[in-house]
């Protein structure tokens, strides 16, 4: 049964999403932002996207946060959507997370979102709302 469902989903053409952590090195601990990027990727997988966190080893040595290198990352990952995650430490042990999804081939903005979490990065309604908005934008702009 699972194989049948998986086959139907794959036959419909699944959207490839590359999740890129662009958090500044001094904004939050690296392992925290990495865990948040993995969490977002997992939540996207649950919603039917083919999602993968882009590892630091897959980026240019000088890093990639803005500009033309984002297009190169999207191309190298065969990503239909490039999702940028930017985490910063906030008050009282909270972490502010900003998400920005763009079309991989040309950088067209698709969706943006923000939420506050703890270092454990528990999913919440704001992340779910972002993913729902992203699904709608993908349906409108990628098909």
pLDDT digits (tens, 9 = 90+) for 31-80: 888 999 999 999 999 999 999 999 888 877 777 777 788 888 889 999 99
3-state SS, residue 112: strand
Q: Whole-angstrom Cα distance, residue 99 to residue 21?
A: 10
Q: Which domain holds residue 30?
A: 12-141
Q: Whole-angstrom Cα distance, residue 86 to residue 93?
A: 16
Contact 29, 36 (CB under 8 A): no
Instruction: Answer whether residue 4 is part of any domain.
Output: no
Q: Whole-angstrom Cα distance, residue 40 to residue 53?
A: 9
pLDDT digits (tens, 9 = 90+) for 71-101: 888 899 999 999 999 999 998 888 999 999 9
Q: Which CATH number characterizes residue 97's domain?
A: 3.40.50.10610
pLDDT digits (tens, 9 = 90+) for 108-122: 999 999 988 876 666
Instruction: Answer whether residue 7 is part of any domain.
Output: no
């Amino acid at each position: 049964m699972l194989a049948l469902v998986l086959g139907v989903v794959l036959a419909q053409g699944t959207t490839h999403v590359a999740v890129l952590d662009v958090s500044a090195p001094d904004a939050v601990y690296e392992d925290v932002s990495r865990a948040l990027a993995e969490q977002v990727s997992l939540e996207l997988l649950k919603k039917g996207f083919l999602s993968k966190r882009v590892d630091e080893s897959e980026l240019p040595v000088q890093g990639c946060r803005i500009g033309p290198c984002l297009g190169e990352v999207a191309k190298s990952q065969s990503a239909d959507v490039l999702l940028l995650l930017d985490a910063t430490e906030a008050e009282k042990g909270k972490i502010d997370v900003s998400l920005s999804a763009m079309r991989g081939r040309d950088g067209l903005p698709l969706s943006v979102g923000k939420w506050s979490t703890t270092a454990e990065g528990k999913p919440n309604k704001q992340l779910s709302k972002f993913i729902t908005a992203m699904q709608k934008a993908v349906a409108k702009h990628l098909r």
